[in-house]
Structure 1
Amino acid sequence: MVARVVLKKGREERLRSGHLWVYRGEVAEIEGSAGPGDVVDVVDARHKFTGRGFISPSSNILVRILTRDPEEIIDEAFFRRRIERAIAYRAKVVPDAEAYRVVFGEADLLPGLIIDKYRDLAVIQTLTFGMDTRKETISRVIGELLKPRWIYERNDVASRKLAGLPLRRGLIVGPTRPLPAEPASREVPAEPAGQG
């Protein structure tokens, strides 16, 4: 059974207006057991469903909401739908771009996840335990939808340290050789700077 985060009376309005973060000080209690990155339901003081998201017990931002639909399950199909929606939006806004931000966390209703695309390279950041523990699933979805030659993890940013996550960077998928860059139409080895 999914643990429930019970809000203090009156604290649900901000969330119902669209905010995706539940702060520790807004919580009355946690019913059940939940570890870092687990899916939890957020309910108001009357136990009415308010949202579902990933919990970060050591953070001041206790829960990052992913959905307000009590029927929506946070699984691979969920990530596929959200990332497909983000790709479709970018296709309208920047139709011919070779380099762009595919997913921008909260803006795409995926708090804690950033995905950039540079031609055949996808660069991801997983900034919360919830996203980090699902990195393999997210990488699989990125591979299917964007078809990059490489997927590179750029998880060496300070916010991961604050979240209690290790700093890492490196290839997740793709040939282990220098990555191409084409300034002035010629290939040279390059380290993907990604985000950060």
Structure 2
Amino acid sequence: MKYPILTLKPDSEVHLRNRHHAIFRSAIDRLPQAEDGDIVEVRNSRGDFLCFAHWNAKAYICGRAIAFEKGDPLTHIRSLMEQAVRLRTALFEKEETTCFRLINAEGDALPGLIVDQYGDVLVIQLTTLGFDRSRDWVMDQLKTLVQPKAIFEKSTGPARKKEGLEEREGWVHGKVDGTIEVKERGLTYLITLEGSQKTGLFLDQREMRSLVRQTAHGRTVLDCCSYVGGFSVNALAGGALTSDAVDYDSAALARAREHATLNGIPADRLQIFSEDVFNFLRRKSLPHPYDFIILDPPAFAKRSADLEPAKKAYTDLNRMALQALPPGGILLTCSCSYQVNPELFQTLVFHAARQAKRNVKILSRHRQAMDHPVNLYHPEGDYLKSLLLWVE
């Protein structure tokens, strides 16, 4: 099958030769005779093949490379999906884990396609027009590869807006009433897909939850921006004395209590506070003398324009946490803002430590969840960073 041809300007092909997926409007010489959402063939100024891509003239990133090899691009996408499923099967076949990222967009060389698995239910996010128009085809492939009981679509967030797409949320194949019970390394969680943040659980923090479980024994934990209590449950399962979960989302905190109960944790070991975390840490007197504080806030810098206020917010939050800890305390601090790279994040924590007048040692850095692979050709996918700190 022949596809419409998109031709790049001279010397505009380097990033595609390096297998980066983005094609910017400024790099285009001749537009393809194609409708938005179509697959196009991308060539350089000499007419050489570069890749196949999803086309969207309305977006600044107007092309997303989906196949760097000649041949049928749909066959290539199917092959990439199969590879992604095989990887997760290998990763989790020996674990008591039934929830994970099945397809990780650019991390699996499939820009615009994210699939999470919760037991026998799949959750899809289609963030580009090309995959949005291929919804039925994508679901057919997933049904063949995974045989899910049901598929829920949660295509929300700013990425779709940039593609000129409305948000979509709801069941697209089958339906599951109520909550879905899943396991993560032996601990039980309840997933409610409709109205939840992300796709029901922050799967990208699995390794850090396990690290908390390993290091929290005998400690009094403060879990800031706790959401549904993943860090708190792991801390308590690991032998923490108590954990206080702080989040503005009261429904998420109620779910955190359910999670504690499901995992056999006595009710008096988990307290919840529906409060802004900055206000909580500014209290004159905190509810407990915490010696393990976890900071896992939402992204403070979603755009480059947000960077300066984000730097102040990260510094202030970490300073208050460091001031609250006794000598020998532990701080796990995280950032999911891509605009704040690991070097800058460590610098902000350095400034916080200086302001708090504390001596601080790095015990560990972020441990990446292996079901969230980062494509070597797309470093922008490496957004999550963490520092586990010992505070003197």
Under a length normalisation based on structure 1, what TM-score does the superposition of the two structures give? Answer: 0.88
Q: Which residue of 2 aligns with 1:181?
A: 181
Q: Which residue of 1 aligns with 2:11?
A: 10
Whole-angstrom CA distance in 2 between matches of 1:100 and 1:139 = 18
Whole-angstrom CA distance in 1 between matches of 2:178 and 2:140 = 22
Q: Which residue of 2 aligns with 1:20?
A: 21
Larger % of helix: which? 2
Q: Tell me, what secondary structure is at the counterpart of 2:164?
A: coil
Q: In structure 2, which of residues 91, 94, 109 is the aligned counterpart of residue 93 of structure 1? A: 91
Larger Rg: 2
> Is the CA contact (8 Å cut-off) linking 1:4 and 1:40 kept in structure 2?
yes
User: What is the CA distance between 1:136 and its match in structure 2?
Assistant: 0.9
Change (3 A) 1:146 1:12: same
**2:150 is equivalent to residue 150 of structure 1:** yes
User: What is the CA distance between 1:7 and its match in structure 2?
Assistant: 0.9
For CA contacts below 8 A with separation 6 or more, give which structure has more relative contact order.
Answer: 1
- The C-alpha deviation readout for 1:136-195, integer Å capped at 9, x for no partner, is 111111112112111000012221122111111000111363343368769x78335417
User: What is the CA distance between 1:11 and its match in structure 2?
Assistant: 1.1
Give the aligned residue type for 2:21.
L
Q: In structure 2, which of residues 74, 81, 103 is the aligned counterpart of residue 83 of structure 1? A: 81
Give the aligned residue type for 1:122.
L
> Is the CA contact (8 Å cut-off) linking 1:3 and 1:30 kept in structure 2?
no
User: What is the CA distance between 1:86 and its match in structure 2?
Assistant: 0.3
**2:121 is equivalent to residue 121 of structure 1:** yes
Whole-angstrom CA distance in 2 between matches of 1:160 and 1:70 = 28
Q: Tell me, what secondary structure is at the counterpart of 1:35?
A: coil
Give the aligned residue type for 1:107.
G
Change (3 A) 1:13 1:190: closer
Give the aligned residue type for 2:141.
V
Give the aligned residue type for 1:120.
D
User: What is the CA distance between 1:45 and its match in structure 2?
Assistant: 0.7
Q: Which residue of 2 aligns with 1:41?
A: 41
Q: Tell me, what secondary structure is at the counterpart of 1:166?
A: coil
Structural mapping, 1:125-136, within 5 Å: 125-136=125-136
Larger % of strand: which? 1
Change (3 A) 1:79 1:191: same
Give percent identity, aligned residues only: 25
Whole-angstrom CA distance in 2 between matches of 1:17 and 1:79 = 19
Whole-angstrom CA distance in 1 between matches of 2:188 and 2:25 = 51
Q: Which residue of 2 aligns with 1:63?
A: 63
Q: Tell me, what secondary structure is at the counterpart of 2:107?
A: helix
> Is the CA contact (8 Å cut-off) linking 2:119 and 2:182 kept in structure 1?
no
Give the aligned residue type for 1:18.
R
List runs of 5+ in structure 1 lacking aligned partners. Answer: none
Q: What is the aligned-residue RMSD (CA, Å)? A: 2.2
> Is the CA contact (8 Å cut-off) linking 1:6 and 1:27 kept in structure 2?
yes
> Is the CA contact (8 Å cut-off) linking 1:160 and 1:166 kept in structure 2?
yes
> Is the CA contact (8 Å cut-off) linking 2:7 and 2:47 kept in structure 1?
yes
Under a length normalisation based on structure 2, what TM-score does the superposition of the two structures give? Answer: 0.46
